[in-house]
Structure 1
Amino acid sequence: MRPKIVIVGAGFGGMATVNALKHVDADVVLVDRTNHHLFQPLLYQVATAALSPADIATASRVLLRRNRNATVMMADAAGVDTTAQILQLADGRTLHYDYLVLATGAAYSFFGHDEWAGHAKVLKSLDDALSIRDKLLRAFERAEQCDDPAEVARLLTFVVVGGGPTGVELAGTIAELARTTLARDFRHIDPQSARIVLCEAGKHVLGAFPGELPDYASGALRSLGVEVRLGEAVTLVDADGIVLGPERINAAVVLWCAGTQARPAANWLGAEAARNGAVKVAEDCSVPGHGNIFAIGDVASFDPGTGRPLPGLAPVAKQQGKYVGRLIANRIAGRKTPLPFRYRDLGSMAVIGRSRAIADFGRFQLKGFLAWLAWSMVHLMLLVDFRSRLMVYMNWSWAWFTYGRGARLLTGHDDHGTAVKDEASSEIEKP
């Protein structure tokens, strides 16, 4: 009987694992709560009306058509019975496995203030992005019809909490949306008067980058009109805005990009977890005590021997997925297992706005237009199919020359952010 390999999560790690197992004599099942693979690094561009959902997502079944040994199951994992080797699904069904790979990713953490989640938007899925897009555009529309100057000021105030890459990208693109794209579209309000506030409790935005790159990022954001607030912690988020230190900031939109926590895989396994809930894994990415269970990507805490776990980045997940797939393939074929996993750091990048980015490649750093050009080329090449690359390139080129954005329709969400399928989002749901 052929071994059965179950992979939970269709993100970068999960898809890399499936592809590494393409020619293995085994049955591979990919389980995910959605039916698509999402290119998360460009998710913020859907949220800010630069791209449509189908530009950065492709149906998983389409991507795996040539993987003869792989099947796709749209389902939500809910637990693991390690004794019986069974993955439990939220609808009551179960899946037997001989090997299990958990690539379930991470969610945003509100640092013990879960009540804030009802008032702040997060960005992890296409639904999140469309909900943010709706809320941003609707704020301008409501301000256009409002006669109360104080309410107009609130509607045109946008707060981003967290100075990491996602927070910086969102703040910069919202500023560009208000200052350029929407600048001439309204009669009663001036979109250029919009207030964009980026809050970071640390001393720098993009603090993981070396040297003067964080200072360059702060300066670039300020030149776009973003109000960068450093060294101040958010103490309250409610329906009317936030409290930052001693100051109240009334805002129509609060976007939370401040911290993440792993999905509850550690609880499923009864495994030791890091502070963020990630599963502490061995040098081969397996879960200690369970040699046939692996955790990769954001759900795993892998210490390369430095005392600091690897960051939650797409390259980490992809390299771990490829490694684990080869390890399982070797075990099934009776070959020698590979050496312990070693992460190859190819550098990190963050985009700030039009023609502005920073890049750290270890021996040298880039900033400004050259970094932005490198960021653009790398992200185009990482998109999974030719159609996505072509559409994103065309959208970027048009936006660069015209300052326009082609995905500015209010069609798919109600006032509470509930998604209603529209033409753009339905494209990704076709198997």
Structure 2
Amino acid sequence: MSTSKRIVIVGTGFGGLAAAKALAGKACEVTLVDRSNHHLFQPLLYQVATAMLSPADIATATRTIIRAQNLRIVMAEVIGVDVNKKRLLTKTNDDLPYDYLVLATGADYSFFGNDEWALHAPVLKSLEDALTIREKLLSNFEQAERSKDVARIQKLLTFIVVGAGPTGVEMAGAVAELAKTALTRDFKSIDTKHLRILLVEAGSTALSAFPEGLSSYAIQALRTLGVEVHLGRPVKTITDSGIMLGNTWIASNSVIWCAGTQARPAATWIGAEAARNKAIIVNDDCSVPGNPEIFAIGDVACYQADLNRPLPGIAPVAKQQGAYVAKAILARIQGKPSVPPFKYRNWGTMAVIGRSHAVADFGKIRLKGFTGWLAWSLVHLLLLIDFRSRTSVYLNWSWAWFTRGRSARLLTGVQRKKNPPSNADYDYATESKS
């Protein structure tokens, strides 16, 4: 094995995992690197944030997912790449040499130059993010239950989601169901007239990537759930007291950021040309111009599918690119002809809006309502990484369907540990009833 080519894959998301699986057992040395020890099914992360699922339902230890003699898994934080020496640089100085490098580092949220907003509006990219949001949502109800101050209750029960893409729409719908069906019946002092859930979007429509008919249906479904949908209303300020929406101030203790995204800084590691969202502009075989031994896939890559329209940052794109890049690298190692350019097979796009409402665009086939929800549920169950996860998620969904309850309503002090309490707004209780 000492003469085998060394392939280093950075990131254990959909793309990185797909590449590693395709290379497992082949005549090469593969090292899979990530700063966490698990693969996270991000499409359902919002359900952890809203107490529908527990973290273990959508996350699986990477070492249990894929095992092979030629595969090594390293938990480390990458800080750069020495392109000339072909070495991956890590925070612990355990540098990793490579012959081929696959960057699958994913994306993070962008605050459009207003980075100070991040202190007051949590994002949803990791399990820690989801648990922090869950902690805030549930603790707000606990505080509102015992408060006598109407203004404070109104602030505690006003939940604002910024960004009306799929994540924002799904989050707003889930928060509405959590608040209106799973919590208000268990809190005796809360008056639902104080409850507000807002979805705000600077653009003119929600789910802008979907056909107009599906977008309109999603907006109507949200309003049926009691969500106030504010379109064409840019955010001007976010503080710990609320949000300035256009010229209107809205007091809120819970603002969740689901707006624009940008690639993680892999482009700067290798000095590559990047698109506006900092994604690496790649060739038609997903390799980096000027560095044919380096590949970028998924959210960290800008792949021009046709003209000036990059592929979307969704799981099917990352998975297909991961498998493709593995095939391309193996062809080079084995001295075979180069594989044809990558071509994405569109599996469609979907978004769910609470109980029994979803939209799905499969090109010629478009679904909405209960039919769309069934399709969304089936696809997401199949995409989950293992049988245990599928079984657990299915049981939790069934429980929520029949009881309208939430199985993960635990306050564990995650947010308190990150932000020590300084006033009554950070007084936590523990509530475990479902």
Q: For 1:288 and 1:226, locate their aligned partners in 2 and report how far apart those are by CA, in whole Å.
A: 46
Q: For 1:151 and 1:383, locate their aligned partners in 2 and report how far apart those are by CA, in whole Å.
A: 41
What is residue 21 of structure 1 aligned with on the other side? 23
2:268 is aligned with 1:267:
yes
Whether the 8 Å CA contact 2:360–2:366 is kept in 1: the answer is: yes
Shift of 1:277: 0.4
Match of 2:60 among 46, 58, 61: 58
Segments ≥4 residues shifted beyond 3 Å = 416-419
What is residue 328 of structure 1 aligned with on the other side? 329
Shift of 1:335: 1.6
Cα deviation code 1:45-64 (max 9, x no counterpart): 00000000000010000001
Whether the 8 Å CA contact 2:182–2:406 is kept in 1: the answer is: yes
Whether the 8 Å CA contact 2:184–2:190 is kept in 1: the answer is: no
Q: For 2:187 and 2:391, locate their aligned partners in 1 and report how far apart those are by CA, in whole Å.
A: 32
Identity %: 61
What is residue 277 of structure 2 aligned with on the other side? 276
What is residue 242 of structure 2 aligned with on the other side? 241
Q: TM-score, normalization: structure 1?
A: 0.95
What is residue 3 of structure 1 aligned with on the other side? 5
Whether the 8 Å CA contact 1:47–1:130 is kept in 2: the answer is: yes
Q: For 1:414 and 1:226, locate their aligned partners in 2 and report how far apart those are by CA, in whole Å.
A: 26
What is residue 343 of structure 1 aligned with on the other side? 344
Give the letter for the 1:237 counterpart.
Answer: I
1:20-419 alignment runs, 5 A limit: 20-65=22-67, 67-191=68-192, 193-415=194-416, 417=418
Give the letter for the 2:65 counterpart.
Answer: L
Q: What secondary structure sits across from 1:304 in the alignment?
A: strand
Shift of 1:193: 4.0
Cα deviation code 1:144-199 (max 9, x no counterpart): 12111000000000000000000001100100011100121112113574200100
Cα deviation code 1:207-238 (max 9, x no counterpart): 11013111100000000000000001000011
Q: What secondary structure sits across from 2:332 in the alignment?
A: helix
Q: For 1:283 and 1:199, locate their aligned partners in 2 and report how far apart those are by CA, in whole Å.
A: 37
Q: For 1:414 and 1:280, locate their aligned partners in 2 and report how far apart those are by CA, in whole Å.
A: 37
Whether the 8 Å CA contact 1:278–1:299 is kept in 2: the answer is: yes
Cα deviation code 1:354-396 (max 9, x no counterpart): 0000000101211000000000000001101001000100000
Give the letter for the 1:50 counterpart.
Answer: M
What is residue 427 of structure 2 aligned with on the other side? none
Shift of 1:331: 1.2
Q: What secondary structure sits across from 1:116 in the alignment?
A: helix
Shift of 1:412: 4.1
Number of residue pairs aligned between Structure 1 and Structure 2: 418
Q: For 1:412 and 1:41, locate their aligned partners in 2 and report how far apart those are by CA, in whole Å.
A: 25
Q: For 1:4 and 1:283, locate their aligned partners in 2 and report how far apart those are by CA, in whole Å.
A: 23
Whether the 8 Å CA contact 1:131–1:418 is kept in 2: the answer is: no
Q: Which runs of 5+ in 1 are unaligned?
A: 420-431
Deviates more, 1:147-156 or 1:304-313: 304-313
Q: Which runs of 5+ in 2 are unaligned?
A: 421-434
Whether the 8 Å CA contact 2:356–2:370 is kept in 1: the answer is: yes
Whether the 8 Å CA contact 1:178–1:192 is kept in 2: the answer is: no
Give the letter for the 1:4 counterpart.
Answer: R
Whether the 8 Å CA contact 1:202–1:232 is kept in 2: the answer is: yes
Q: For 2:254 and 2:196, locate their aligned partners in 1 and report how far apart those are by CA, in whole Å.
A: 11
Give the letter for the 2:18 counterpart.
Answer: A
Q: For 1:418 and 1:304, locate their aligned partners in 2 and report how far apart those are by CA, in whole Å.
A: 43
Give the letter for the 1:255 counterpart.
Answer: I
Q: For 2:193 and 2:318, locate their aligned partners in 1 and report how far apart those are by CA, in whole Å.
A: 39
Deviates more, 1:268-277 or 1:192-201: 192-201
Q: What secondary structure sits across from 2:111 in the alignment?
A: coil
Deviates more, 1:40-49 or 1:328-337: 328-337
Shift of 1:336: 1.7
Q: For 1:361 and 1:122, locate their aligned partners in 2 and report how far apart those are by CA, in whole Å.
A: 28
Whether the 8 Å CA contact 1:140–1:191 is kept in 2: the answer is: no
Q: What secondary structure sits across from 2:39 in the alignment?
A: strand
Q: For 2:199 and 2:63, locate their aligned partners in 1 and report how far apart those are by CA, in whole Å.
A: 39
Give the letter for the 1:347 counterpart.
Answer: G
Q: What secondary structure sits across from 2:353 in the alignment?
A: strand
- CA RMSD, 1 decimal: 1.2
Whether the 8 Å CA contact 1:183–1:192 is kept in 2: the answer is: no
Shift of 1:418: 6.2
